[in-house]
Amino acid sequence: MTAAAMKNANTKEIATTLEAAQIKSWLSGAFSPIQIMDTQKLSKAGAGLFDSPQFATWSNYLTAYNKKYPKEQLTVIEAFTKGYGEEGAIKILGSLDDGPGATKFKDEMVKAWMTDLDHPANMFKRLKLNEAGDDLLTSSLLSIWTRYMKAFNEQNPFAETTMIQTLTKSYGDEKLATIIQAGTK
């Protein structure tokens, strides 16, 4: 409701005031950004998550929360991973479009994974790309995995891997040929 009102020039001022009051109320209640993610139903926003008014409100709250509680600061990635678990965050990641907010989220996710330094073959499985089959080449998670693999290879040249090595290891030559054929149709 407030989000829709912010789009209308006649109601924007009051909507902004209401949002500020809501954020103040959440802060005084010491609600965590994770609790507010559920309130804002961010997991249901789909591909346009970062363009949604709910995300904008939540993001404003996250900023205010981090200012008020500097020792408990959270990044967007940390909040999503803590709130939805890694699998839930990956599911959201796979549903995102390619807008600037989504790109930033994907970049942050890759950066967070780099702290684990999990081999790209293991990350391939964590993203369940080994289960994608004929849909592998159209999976939005494949491009994220590719970003991770490149970052991993840059940081770990001694353990460098290639996409074809991982795909062959995961699917075998015959199934990989089928996947490639399905991707060219």
First-residue to last-residue Cα distance in the chain: 44
| Gap between the Cα atoms of 35 and 25, Å rounded | 13
Most confidently predicted of 6-10, 91-95, 153-157: 153-157
Name the band, by pLDDT with cuts 50, 70 and 90, for residue 183.
confident
Q: For residue range 101-133, list pLDDT tens digits in order.
A: 778 888 888 888 898 888 999 999 999 999 988
Question: What single-letter DSSP state applies at residue 126?
Answer: H
Domains of the chain by residue range: 1-85, 116-185
Average pLDDT over residues 143-160: 93
